[in-house]
Every structure is written in structure tokens, then in C-alpha cells.
Amino acid sequence: MKRRALLLLLAGSGCFRAPRRELAFGRALIGLARDTAFVDESQVTWSLTELSRLVDEAESALASSPRRSPASVLSELLFGRWSFVREVADTNLAFVCLPGVLERRRGSCVGLGTLFLALADALGYSASGVMMPGHFYVRAQEQGGARNVELLRAGEAMPDAWYGQRFPVPGGSAREYARPLSQSEVLGVVEYNVGNERRRQLRLTEARAAFIRATGFFPELSEAHASLGAVEQLLGNLESAEASYRRACNANPHLPGIEQNLSLLAAERTTATTPRACPLPPSY
């Protein structure tokens, strides 16, 4: 996924254990993969079984280290005992959607981030997602304060300043960044990734459907509105394209490339050029 970040907030300490829930968010993530035709029912069943197994192991590890933070324990499990590794180049949805991440033991920052979030949810710890442009990372709220957990650096703790310098927010701020996300909004981030990959594959109808779902889950995700507008433009739905671009502007007036897209659209509507003859609008 391009130009995004997810921040997972893990509250509590090793000495407190809330009742475990029944893989609620993990089921939602796996169901998303099924609904986008990424996995079949047998893979859904395997993924739920595997996620449940990891939750059991994590529960035991947390119980045996009551004075340690859940974030550090989960990070060691992910990158140590369970041997998950990062993927920073391949955009294949296998590294984004939870079933593929579980099977391949490999994930993008979105894939590893949502796995971390699913584990935290199943273990009964409060976890939220937060975006910054171009990256996902984890923040654990511990007794001594917040600790950032960098999933693409094997759980290394990184200071806030590192993220601010490496992933600056255009215009200084936007509603989609630097705040805890709801689980619904996190699903929107995953759907946005699905749309990006389908668009790269020129499967535009599927991309359009994914971007629509993304904006439904996460109405303030300006990149999803802009990408939906770009696909609508390529499909020749020019009025819908303009509406999506305007929604992107409303959500984030500083989104890079959005004014260029609106200019391309205005020129196309004036000259009645066919959608595929116009320059490809930028990706987000």
C-alpha cells in the first residue's frame, strides 16, 4: 500500500488480562479476504484455526511474563518463535490479506499490522489503528508511556520524531492521520490495498468495487476517494469521478496530485476525449 501508516495502540500491561474475545476482528479480516475472492472456504477454515493457535501461544507467553509489556512479548513471538518477516517490495495481496500473511509467514506493514491487531483483539487488549503517510507502525501504551513498535524492523522501538521526519504529513495535518482508527476504518485500509492491486492489474471493475468498500469503511480516507475517482475516470464515469475527487479534497485538501486529477478531468470533459486516451491519473 502506498503512502499510508497504521498505528496500533495496545493498552494495558502484562499484569492485567481482560477476557479473551472470539477472534472477532480476525474473522472480519479473513472474511474480507474471502469476499474479495482472494481465498476459498478451505483457506478460511485453515486461517481461523491457525490464528486461534497463535492466540493460544501468545496467551501462554503473556501469562508466563506478567511483568513484560504485551507489545514486546507479541513482537518477539511474531519475529522470533513464529518467524514472520517483512515484505517491502511485492504488492501481491498475499502479503496484505491476513490468510496470505499467516500462510507465508510474510507481510507488508499493512499485513503485519493487521495480524498484530487481530492478535491483540483476540487476547482482549485494546488496540487501534492510526495512519501516517506511507507507512504502518505499532504503538503500545505501556505503564511507562507510549512505545512505538516498528513492524518492518522486527518490532524495534522507534521515537515519534523518526516517524514525523520519515513520513511527513503534507500540509501538516489531515483527519485521516495521527489518530486512532476504528476497526471499520482499518478494514477500509485493507480494502484500499485490494483496490490498488486490482488497479495495477487493470481489473478496473474490481478495483472500483474495492475502493467503494474502502470509502464506506473509512469515509475520511482521502486516498481511497481519489483512487475511486481515477478508476471512475478510466471507466468513463466522469460525473462520478468528479464527485469522488471532490470528496478526496474535502477529506484532505493537501492530498498530493488531486488538483492535477481534477485538471485532467476538466480537460477530458471539455474535449470529449475517451477515458483511456487521457493520461493515467496518479495512484495514491
Which residues make Cβ contacts (< 8 Å) with residue 112, sequence separation at least 6? 78, 84, 86, 101, 136, 151, 152
Position 5 scores a pLDDT of 40
Separation CA 112–CA 129 (nearest Å): 12
| Among the listed residues 281, 276, 189, the one whose alpha carbon sits nearest the alpha carbon of residue 244 | 281
H or E segment at 86?
strand 85-86
Looking at the structure, tell me whether residues 215 and 116 fall in a common domain: no
Looking at the structure, tell me whether residues 120 and 38 fall in a common domain: yes
Looking at the structure, tell me whether residues 198 and 131 fall in a common domain: no
Q: Note the pTM of the prediction, 2 decimals.
A: 0.87
Which residues, listed in sequence order, are joined to residue 263 by a DSSP beta bridge? none
> Within a 10 A sphere around the Cβ of 270, how many other Cβ atoms?
8
Looking at the structure, tell me whether residues 205 and 124 fall in a common domain: no
Residues 114/29, Cβ–Cβ less than 8 Å: yes
Domain assignment present for 81: yes
H or E segment at 153?
none
Domain assignment present for 171: no
Domain end position, chosen among 136, 166, 196 = 166
Looking at the structure, tell me whether residues 100 and 151 fall in a common domain: yes
Domain total for the chain? Answer: 2
Domain end position, chosen among 133, 166, 199 = 166
Under DSSP, is residue 163 helix (H, G, I), strand (E, B) or coil?
helix
Domain assignment present for 176: no
Residues 122/99, Cβ–Cβ less than 8 Å: no
Looking at the structure, tell me whether residues 117 and 203 fall in a common domain: no
Looking at the structure, tell me whether residues 11 and 117 fall in a common domain: yes
Domain assignment present for 178: no
Looking at the structure, tell me whether residues 41 and 136 fall in a common domain: yes
Looking at the structure, tell me whether residues 148 and 213 fall in a common domain: no
Looking at the structure, tell me whether residues 162 and 187 fall in a common domain: no
* Residues 210-243 pLDDT 10s: 999 999 999 999 999 999 999 999 999 999 999 9
CATH number at 218 reads 1.25.40.10
Domain assignment present for 67: yes
| Among the listed residues 181, 139, 110, the one whose alpha carbon sits nearest the alpha carbon of residue 8 | 139
| Under-50 pLDDT residues of the chain | 2-20, 275-284
* Residues 25-49 pLDDT 10s: 999 999 999 998 889 999 999 999 9
Looking at the structure, tell me whether residues 162 and 57 fall in a common domain: yes
Please give the residue range of the domain that contains residue 98.
7-166
Looking at the structure, tell me whether residues 129 and 17 fall in a common domain: yes
Separation CA 37–CA 72 (nearest Å): 34
Domain end position, chosen among 166, 200, 226 = 166
